[in-house]
Structure 1
Amino acid sequence: MELTVHLFGITRDITRKSRHTVVLEEGSSVQDLLRRFYTEYPELEGLKSLVVAVNDEYAEPTQVLNIRDEVALIPPVSGG
């Protein structure tokens, strides 16, 4: 299945993309998606509190992804 993942903040800076298309096997989980990103962009693995949102809700690593899901990588938020 092919998913488009939206990237924000530091994740966009690291990948140099605001959207990234990923091809995963049917039944893949959020954790599988993250592994793919960590393989392609090892610098992402060093980010603290990187989370994945699926259909505008934070997703657990075990959540199974579907072809119609809207997916985003949410980087750590800083500010003061």
Structure 2
Amino acid sequence: MPVLHCDSQSAIQLAKNPVFHAKTKHVDVKCHFIREVLEDKRLQIAKIHTTENPADLLTKGLPSKRFAHCRALMGIG
């Protein structure tokens, strides 16, 4: 089963808990898709520490040391 790594504990809880909360009324349809995939056991979601998240390379401006670390995590550095 594929594993989706996430560095946000809040996002993990939103994906696993289908209960509606007033603060989550803005949640996009994509989140509902993730919930469905998790319920069907087609995907697992797991916590990854922010410092070990290679996706930061694609989503943030990073200092050169952090950039090099993320590149190494992706196997391109």
What range is the shorter-chain TM-score in? under 0.3
Higher strand share: 1
Higher helix share: 2
* TM-score scaled by length of structure 2: 0.24
